[in-house]
Chains A and B, each alone.
Chain A
Amino acid sequence: MAGALSDLKIIEVGELVSAPYCAKLLADMGAEVIKIERPGAGDRARIRGPFPKDETHPEKSGLYLYLNTNKKGVTLDIAKPEGMQLLEQLVAGADVLVHNVVPPEMDRVGLTWERMRRVNPGLVMTSIAPFGLSGPYRNFRAEDLTVWAAGGVCVLNGGGPDHADLPPLKAAGSQAGYQGGVHAAVATMGAVFAHARGESGQHLEVSVQESIASQLEMTFEYWPYMKMIATRLGQKPLQPVETMQCKDGYIYLCCIEEHQWRNFVAIMGNPQWADEEIFSDRLKRAVNWDALKVFLEEWVGQQTVLDLYRKAQARRVPFAPVSTMGDLLSSEHLRARGFFVEIAQPMAGTHKYPGAPLKYSRTPWEIRIPAPTLGQHNEEIFGRRLGLSSQRLSELKTRGVI
């Protein structure tokens, strides 16, 4: 059985995370993806690592290898007229063009919907930009951190009662890019579905800032509804909802409902202090957290993570381990579900990677080929598919077009 998207052809002009992750989601469901990279250096993700043995090498970057599975790779300088023409030829035979070329660069090289539509009116062109394609911040220089912060999430994290001086804290990794990518994949599939049902091709744009701003839990609405600013500082509204240290690692205590707290108290052997008035409901436990924390730290510090996790879950208390990477790789649950997949790539070797986000009963998620080396499929795509002669290919190479 082929993947759900096995009849789709995608062209990706992507760097780092957002457009590559969007195209990876499509590729891993069966779509053919041709990834276009700049001649010479290629995608910036190639130099970001992590690298095996910390050896920086453009063919060994873990981030690149993860984000570009199931893609064919070509090099092409779309800022050169001959490069743009080749892009047009590729787009003519594609269903989707997904890119994160930033708006000022789109202007400079002439990457426009008008142009792409002329060569393929049925195309879905997905433009992912940090702040979208319009508005006063359209041309802002941006990196993952600055967009994540501008989306409104950093301010919710970090500091805490004891460390109000510390800055707002980003979540680890390129999270803005991932959120831009997955929201772009949703919108792209919407447009692909519309096209399958008879609508024409179209241009869609995805703002990464807006993708983040649309997932701020309840915090955004505190301003329109109550004129309150949501902050990482100050005490939590209810407790215990907190990370705490065990003998062998950290656990996340999570007693949101009263019955969960009562069950936790039972697990602790019903200590006397738990009967104190000041701990009698979740709001009081938050107000008196300083006192409660001392009791809990003492007891939790004697436990092991897995044992407490299992005891809590046996009583329907939603504790979770603060999983280290090692914990994830050795988890019996994830192993039983076959989450991690081994991928062999000739230069970087064989490693385990995060696997399928979803399990389909009919159409498989699968890794068919590893990420491409830089320009690996130039000959196949430009030569055999577009029919360029080997002489023409070497001319283009000399001029730095491919």
Chain B
Amino acid sequence: MAKPPLSGIKVCDFTWVWAGPYCTLQLAHLGAEVVRIETKTRPCVTRMLPPWPDGIFDGVNKSGYFNQYNQGKKSLSLNFKHPEAKEIAWRLIKQSDVVINNFAAGVIDKMGFGYEEVKKVRPDIVMISLSGYGNSGPYREYVAYGPAQVPLSGLSALTGYKGFPPMHAGFSYADPNAGAHGAFAILTALYHRYRTGEGQFIDMSQWECAMDVLAEGILEYTMNDREPERVGNRDPFMAPHGIFRCRELPEKVMDVVIDQWASIVCATDDEWARLARAIGKPELADDARFKTFDARKRNEDALEAIITQWTSTRAVAYVVDTLQAAGVAAGACADNKYLCEDPHLAARKYWVELEHPEVGVKRHCGIPWRMSGTPCQVEAPAPCLGQHTDQVLEALGYSGDEVAALRKQGALD
């Protein structure tokens, strides 16, 4: 069997929180050896956050958040207050292909591992900085936290119900978006290095990556000098185009009623006619209020009310199956439980369920692609903090005695 695409590629990973780890997760998925440099005095933020198997924080290895985005990586725990720790990091850098961090501009330079220094020992290194604002410009040292990057990017101003204030995306979207773009950039630079032997530095701004996925809103402004209106779930070229209330689940979860929703879209008049038949109201297909796209758009409130009347007494799965059978785009508005139990994802073997020393076997999200020639799979669960310190040091040429001495001196956190 062929090896995964990045087998033999070594990544020295100074990242933390989400954007950076999401980037190096893609590289680990492709088979690279990713070594996360961590410290016990300041563990990754996500190690300290829920969810935890017992519902409370009792140790840095049990967070589902950390364990999701660090699958297949190694953890090397160093104490940078100790000079020997820097020497270890330098040895790791010397034998790495990629060095990555997601600190604000200048931080990695202050740590002593800036590109100018790294380049001296590894001229062909591919180095990337995934900062919030980028490495130049007047705001380069500004602090960027995941949730705030969504409004900063412009996505919030575009997102929201009609007539309501701007809304969020519901998660720190700019982080994984930056991580995925960063992984793409690293791969292009590795490809260039493979052809020419040349390394390089990549300056990435999470803000700019986020604007690259907002072209419709930005172009509305640059073409017509006008701020786009927020229109909820509606669409300027399709109707119906929305998320409709379905029957609630009969059981409550932790005493909470779980509301249920399905998304429904008709891209053409023909699809509308099929929807009308599927919900038992074939006469609506020829109803002057709804027959054409323009008519449906004019009468969208009434249109949505009619669909809601049908969906609200039916289970999500019934709504989706009925409309799909009629050739209409519909889907569950999935929550995490629904996804976790989705037979489609199970059939596609999307889940990763590996034995983790502290949380046991838990279901995690897997790799969103499949390769026929160089298959990718998650080889190991996320590491416990410092789990691979000895192994990594040994591979760097430290003897057992030297490792013991480093530990005694306090260089290994």
Contact = CB atoms under 8 A, between A and B. Distances in A.
Given A145-B241, A158-B167, A354-B218, A135 B337 contact: no
Given A167-B261, A326-B221, A216 B365 contact: yes
B379 to A, nearest CB: 15
B76 interface: no
Contacts of A178: 177, 213
B219 A185 contact: no
Contact of A63 (B68, B216, B243, B333): B216
Interface string A308-348: 00000100111111111111110011101101100000001
Contacts of B41: none
Contact of A149 (B30, B152, B232, B334): B334
B315 interface: no
Nearest to A206: B369
Given A194-B374, A243-B156, A325-B157, A199 B2 contact: yes
A77 B165 CA distance: 45
Given A171-B170, A322-B157, A362-B200, A50 B223 contact: yes
Nearest to A197: B194
Interface stretch (A51-59, A265-273, A274-282): A51-59
Nearest to B189: A4
A169 B159 contact: yes
Given A154-B243, A154-B333, A214 B215 contact: no
Contacts of A227: 253-254
A222 B64 contact: yes
A169 B211 contact: no
Dominant secondary structure at the B interface: mixed
Given A50-B224, A150-B263, A140 B324 contact: yes
Contacts, number: 510
Nearest to B153: A323
Contact of B191 (A5, A149, A243): A5
A44 to B, nearest CB: 9
Interface in A65-110: 65-67
A358 B181 contact: yes
Interface in B165-184: 165-173, 175-177, 180-184
Interface residues of B, number: 163
A372 interface: no
B149 to A, nearest CB: 7
A333 B137 contact: yes
B14 interface: no
A202 B1 CA distance: 13
Contact of A182 (B184, B263, B324, B366): B184
B256 interface: yes
B340 A357 contact: no
Contacts of B306: none
A157 interface: yes
Interface of A: 4-5, 7, 25, 29, 47-54, 62-63, 65-67, 113, 131-137, 140-143, 145-158, 163, 166-175, 178-179, 182-187, 189-194, 196-197, 199-207, 209-211, 213-233, 241, 243, 245, 250, 252, 254, 256, 313, 316-329, 332-334, 336-337, 339-340, 348, 351-363
